[in-house]
Amino acid sequence: MNKDNINEIKLSQVIIKDEFWSDRQRLITDTVIPYQELILDDKIESVEKSHAFANFRIAAGIEDGDFYGMVFQDSDVAKWLEAVAYSLSIKPDRDLEYRADEIIAIIAKAQQEDGYLNTYFTIKEPDKRWTNLHACHELYCAGHMMEAAVAYYKATAKEQLLNVMERMSDHIEKHFVTEQREGIPGHQEIEIGLMKMYHATGKEKFFNLAKHFIDERGQKPDYFIREDQNRGWHHDIMDPRNTNYNQSYAPVREQKTAEGHSVRAVYMYTAMADIASVNGDKELYNACKAIWNNIVTKRMYITGGIGSNAEGEAFTLDYDLPNDSIYGETCASIGLIFFAKKMLDIYPSNQYADIMELALYNGVLSGMQLDGKRFFYVNPLEVNPDISGKLFGYKHVLPERPDWYQCACCPPNVARLLTSLGQYIWSEGLDTIYS
């Protein structure tokens, strides 16, 4: 492992003048972010209803109503705020910052007295908190909001959201560590958020909590099965007996191949690499290297797309890479870039930089139309308009980009990646610049 500590590049240090990428960043700052803001606030009637901002207003007691959307609807707001933060770093905008501050104030008001923050459970089922980690994504939403908090703090020096998410982290630590309640994230992401909180503040408690969730995964592969049996209520999309789906089939240091839901997987691998870079955990790093090699040599498309099966949005077997029924979720290629960057920070090598570039140009950019207003969730390599989107096995393969989704994880993910592009262009070691 390379111990030449890599310093994170501030976005304000990078000015992208390349015509290709400057045009795309300008599209995000000038069009995509304002457009997504209107969608999240339900001000564009022609697209799928979001209600994401309204959920926070209702949870905060500002307006009456019921929760609407996916159980992880909060994460759309978090990713949008993160994109806003990066946008403010490369293009200051007082009006946008003011509107973001207003949203953050509402989020703070929606936080419960004990630090808990999640609009679905606050509005809909307050007595069911932490009882369905498999499907209800409380920790996932918290992780994305932590990422937003760190990005906004770095861009504006404003600490309100950072403080909110520190309180949420303390609540989570109390529940899962201090009180020793059993549980791991059903969808990995909080591990990334906690590591960003650690890097931004230097507080070991964030690192320790991230490591706790990584270390616990796979120690009790039957956890989600028992959770399902014990809670007496159901909100499941996937069978909890499929332990590959959320990479809980074995302890992470024993995992050698990319398995299960592709976004869950690469988000977890990103955090694993980050943790290994901090504490020098060679066993964890070796697992990352083995998994990386499995992905890029046997389970990745020529475009940098990953996740070949619509069933579980998942990795399957080596070389099972069909073109016409590919899943290749935009978020998965984005997550692969995150993983590649963390591996690159540990050991500067073109093998990581090349895959990062491959996925960026192909697996990610294909997820957004050139006007920034239509998006692919699935990125097919082969489309037959008479079959795609219609027949069984191909309903996920759409011949045209929709304007929005009920599950809209990908559009704001593209926005936050492209606005933060400066962080991926070069790295700075103790006495070396890597480009």
What pLDDT does 395 receive?
Answer: 86
Model confidence pLDDT, tens digit, residues 257-316 = 999 999 999 999 999 999 999 999 999 999 999 999 999 999 999 999 999 999 999 999
At residue 377, the 3 state secondary structure works out as: coil
Stronger pLDDT, 301 or 14, i.e. the higher one: 301
Tell me the residue length of the chain.
435
The mean pLDDT value for 332-356 works out to 96
On whether the CB atoms of residues 146 and 101 are closer than 8 A, the answer is no
Question: Measuring CA to CA, how many Å separate 47 from each of 35, 79, 375?
Answer: 11, 19, 12
Domain residue limits, the chain: 1-250
Residue with tokens 């540990």: 346
Please tell me which residue in 138, 147, 166, 313 is annotated as part of the active site.
313
Residue 313 annotated as catalytic: yes
pLDDT tens digit sequence for 85-96? 999 999 999 999
Q: What span, in angstroms and rounded, lies between the C-alpha atoms of 334 and 340?
A: 10
pLDDT of residue 5: 65
**According to the model, what pLDDT value does residue 234 have?**
59
The mean per-residue pLDDT over the stretch 193-208 comes to: 98
Terminal CA-to-CA distance of the chain, rounded, Å?
Answer: 19
Taking the C-alpha atoms of residue 338 and residue 302, their distance in angstroms, rounded to an integer, is 18
For residue 399, what pLDDT is reported?
86
Confidence of residue 196 (pLDDT cuts 50, 70, 90): very high
Distance separating alpha carbons of residues 232 and 414, to the nearest angstrom: 37
What DSSP element (H or E) covers 434?
A: strand 433-434
> How high is the mean pLDDT of the chain?
94
Q: Considering the candidates 141, 331, 409, 410, report the single residue annotated as catalytic.
A: 409
Percent of the chain past pLDDT 70, that is, above it, reads: 97
Q: What is the pTM of this model?
A: 0.96
Least confident of 243-247, 303-307, 384-388: 384-388
Q: Is the pLDDT of residue 435 over 80?
A: no
Q: Is 15 left (phi over 0), alpha (psi -120 to 50) or beta?
A: beta
Using pLDDT thresholds of 50, 70 and 90, give the confidence band for residue 237. low
pLDDT, tens digit, 9 for 90 and up, residues 148-178: 999 999 999 999 999 999 999 999 999 999 9
Residues 121 and 18: their CA atoms lie apart, in Å, by: 45
CA distance 224 to 245: 11
Q: Could you give the 3-state DSSP secondary structure of residue 66?
A: coil
Helix extents (H) in 190-261: 190-201, 204-216, 223-231
Is the predicted pLDDT of residue 235 greater than 60, yes or no?
no
